[in-house]
Amino acid sequence: MSARMAASARSRAGRDAAARRWPRPARRLGWALCSVGAVLLAWVATTWVWPVVDPGRFPSPPDVYQAALQLSSGQGYAGGTLSAHVWQSSKLVLVGFAVASAVGIPLGLLMGWSRRAEALLNPTFLLLRPIPPLAWIPLAILWFGLGDSAKVFVIFFAAFVPAVINAYTGVRGIDRTLVAAARVHGASTPRLFVAVLVPGALPSIFTGLRLALQASWTTLVAAELVGALLGLGHVLVIASLDIYPGMILYAMVWVGIMGGLMTAALGWIERRVMPWRR
């Protein structure tokens, strides 16, 4: 028994020493690089080194490289260069996401706190919730025309639902003992919101914000079907019409890059707002 305990202790000590040599963020980065590298190697091997995949169905690295050169050069593609398309799409996503957050989070907090507000607002929300964001495109065109406002409107509805639901869930998950204690100590309703409800609901709120941001980028391509002249979604549409797989994949990569960068920025804000969750 003592020998097994000693071996177990040595094993734990070895794992602890390895953890000290390789901190957790470094290990995560290492695994992420290995995963991405494996995918890239498989892509290069199957489309270029041993081309077992038809280039008309999935582009090879040279195809994507040529698309990158064309989109990044002064010639551009689909009416603009890479920077113009990225800026247009990012602007639409940020505006739609910001408006949805500004409206959805207070609405969710209100419904989670007040039974009367929930009884008044929740039936309408339950009717709107199952409607896909794409179903709003015809009305968006009728109401706002073919400009950016129609696209922001569609993205807004994609981000609005998760923002409301998670803010509502965050308030409902707060221990009512804390609320009662704040009331006993004379906290007014505004003070209660600032000191108890919002801090208690923050983890759920940020979960909703991440889901809302993901939904915004997911809806972007459909939103840019509404008479877009620029944007990564517009590039995808034109490239599909031109049967240009290299450009399709390159635009998809940039959608992923921008979505990842915005998610990382949101995570940085979350760590600053809630340092105890690091």
Which of the four pLDDT bands, split at 50, 70 and 90, describes residue 251? very high
User: d(Cα 268, Cα 274) in Å, to the nearest integer?
Assistant: 10
Short-list 158, 142, 144, CA closest to 233? 158
Q: What 3 state SS string does 25-67 have?
A: HHHHHHHHHHHHHHHHHHHHHHHHHCCCCCCCCCCCHHHHHHH
- The confidence score (pLDDT) of residue 6 equals 47
- The confidence score (pLDDT) of residue 211 equals 94
Question: How crowded is residue 126: how many other Cβ atoms within 10 Å of its Cβ?
Answer: 9
- The confidence score (pLDDT) of residue 105 equals 93
Mean pLDDT for the chain overall: 83
pLDDT of 126 strictly over 50 = yes
User: d(Cα 147, Cα 165) in Å, to the nearest integer?
Assistant: 29
Q: What angle do CA 244, 237, 223 make, to 5 degrees?
A: 155
Contact 92, 213 (CB under 8 A): no
Q: What mean pLDDT do residues 107-114 have?
A: 89
- Percentage with pLDDT > 90 across the chain: 34
> Which single residue is written with the structure tokens 């980028």?
217
- The confidence score (pLDDT) of residue 278 equals 60
pLDDT of 259 strictly over 70 = yes
Return the bridge partners of 77, or none: 80
Q: Which one has a higher pLDDT value, 213 or 187?
A: 213
Q: Which one has a higher pLDDT value, 9 or 30?
A: 30
Which of the four pLDDT bands, split at 50, 70 and 90, describes residue 24? low
pTM (2 d.p.): 0.81
Q: What mean pLDDT do residues 156-163 have?
A: 93
| Amino acid at residue number 28 | R
- The confidence score (pLDDT) of residue 36 equals 79
